[in-house]
Amino acid sequence: MGGGGQQTESGEPAKGGGVGPDGGLGGSAVYTWEEVQRHSHRGDQWLVIDRKVYNITQWAKRHPGGIRVISHFAGEDATDAFTAFHLDPNFVRKFLKPLLIGELAPTEPSQDHGKNAALVQDFQTLRDRVESEGLLRARLLFFSLYLGHILLLEALALGLLWVWGTSWSLTLLCSLMLATSQAQAGWLQHDFGHLSVFKKSSWNHKLHKFVIGHLKGASANWWNHRHFQHHAKPNVFRTPDVIMSGHNATSLSPVKDLAWAMTFYLRFFCCYYPFFGFFGSVALMSFVRFLDSHWFVWVTQMNHLPMEMDHERHQDWLTMQLIATCNIEQSTFNDWFSGHLNFQIEHHLFPTMPRHNYHLVAPLVRTLCEKHGVSYQVKTLQKAIIDVVRSLKKSGDLWLDAYLHK
């Protein structure tokens, strides 16, 4: 295509050049932020990464992370999100090359919507320091021992019944051990789902399917497509941490996930049917699920629910994550109990960082927040739980008032 005015998918002519045969810039197509921001609709989506403008309208449907997570940044600068979510950004840029349609005009700022350029630059400098100091590299021994303690709990729960029988007290103890192993498996699948254990994405995906499928009986694809949206725009209305939504996984993926989940149920009933029979095993599983789900909900909500929830305000990556998350004080118990999600701020800023390094980057993040006047909240576990209860009471009062005055 020559420089006489390449037609984009939306039908709008590109300025001053076009896309060459190899998918790269064939000329000097330049755009203003106003032009980029007009392409933020479902059937017409552009975004900016490192000042390069990409038309992702068709690619979004094939995006491995799902159409919604990438669409959240349509018409915006997605540089920090792009860097945060990908283990090897240089490799991913190969897929972006055919989508490149131009770049921002030299007179345009690198940030959209009037974001604080100094804050954005300081965070990128922090990101570079994190990478250079190896804080994105995992210690495989840590995760091996973590998986080992989960499997040990499973074995001890079964052995308890095998040796001493199925009295009420022993069955309760068995349930507590299984619930603990389920909760800890939930934190471990979270690590693999965020690609924070292995250097190769494929290895993380395989272990993720094993842990969430075989150890918990859930779907890896369902988790991925919802959870990454939450990280992209936390506590923003119309994202899945605020409302329910589906995802665009291929039909083959749910079938594979179902197969993995079936191995969990097959294993569970093979182990516990001889002790409790079919209905007894169902009751045991239901009670364990009840305990595990409450553990999960309280840990995840105490970092988010009491925080700000609002419509999209187009903040920079640091500010957006900080107003939606808070930390819980560090302790050996809190780290274990929450799967290190007591460092929710650091986890949201660096989602691929292995959890055992959160405490190392936390002081650096706090210093950056103090420099730019961004609130960095740290609560005790008790206060975090109380805040969740207060938040639920406030919501309940609002619904009750609306019902009484309908």
Determine contact, residues 75/40, Cβ cutoff 8 Å.
yes
Rounded Cα distance, 217 and 96, in Å: 35
Rounded Cα distance, 74 and 282, in Å: 46
pLDDT > 70 fraction of the chain, expressed in percent and rounded: 87
Rounded Cα distance, 316 and 110, in Å: 12
How open is the CA angle 178-325-319, to the nearest 5 degrees?
150
pLDDT higher than threshold 90 for residue 376: yes
Q: What is the pLDDT of residue 16?
A: 41
Rounded Cα distance, 174 and 157, in Å: 5
Rounded Cα distance, 232 and 68, in Å: 10
Q: What is the mean predicted confidence (pLDDT) over 73-85?
A: 93
Rounded Cα distance, 357 and 196, in Å: 11
pTM score over 0.75: yes
88's CB contacts (< 8 A; 6+ apart) are none
Residue-range domains of the chain with CATH: 30-114 (3.10.120.10), 140-302 (no CATH), 317-405 (no CATH)
First to last CA, the chain: 60
Choose the weakest-confidence range: 26-30, 197-201, 348-352: 26-30
pLDDT higher than threshold 90 for residue 30: yes
Q: What is the pLDDT of residue 398?
A: 84
Determine contact, residues 249/225, Cβ cutoff 8 Å.
yes
Rounded Cα distance, 404 and 396, in Å: 12
Q: What is the pLDDT of residue 166?
A: 96
Backbone angles phi, psi at 379, to 5 degrees: -120, 160
CB burial readout 141-175, b (16+ within 10 A) else e: eebeebbeebeebbeebbebbeeeeeeeeebebbb
Q: What is the mean predicted confidence (pLDDT) over 174-199?
A: 97
Q: What is the pLDDT of residue 91?
A: 86
Reported as a pLDDT band with limits 50, 70 and 90, residue 20 is: very low
Rounded Cα distance, 61 and 405, in Å: 44
Q: What is the pLDDT of residue 197?
A: 97
pLDDT higher than threshold 50 for residue 363: yes
Quick: pLDDT tens for 225-266: 778 777 877 766 455 454 444 445 556 778 899 999 999 999
Q: What is the pLDDT of residue 304?
A: 82
| DSSP tally for the chain: helices H, then strands E | 15, 7
pLDDT higher than threshold 50 for residue 5: no
Rounded Cα distance, 163 and 183, in Å: 25
Q: What is the pLDDT of residue 399?
A: 86
pLDDT higher than threshold 50 for residue 26: no
pLDDT higher than threshold 90 for residue 284: yes
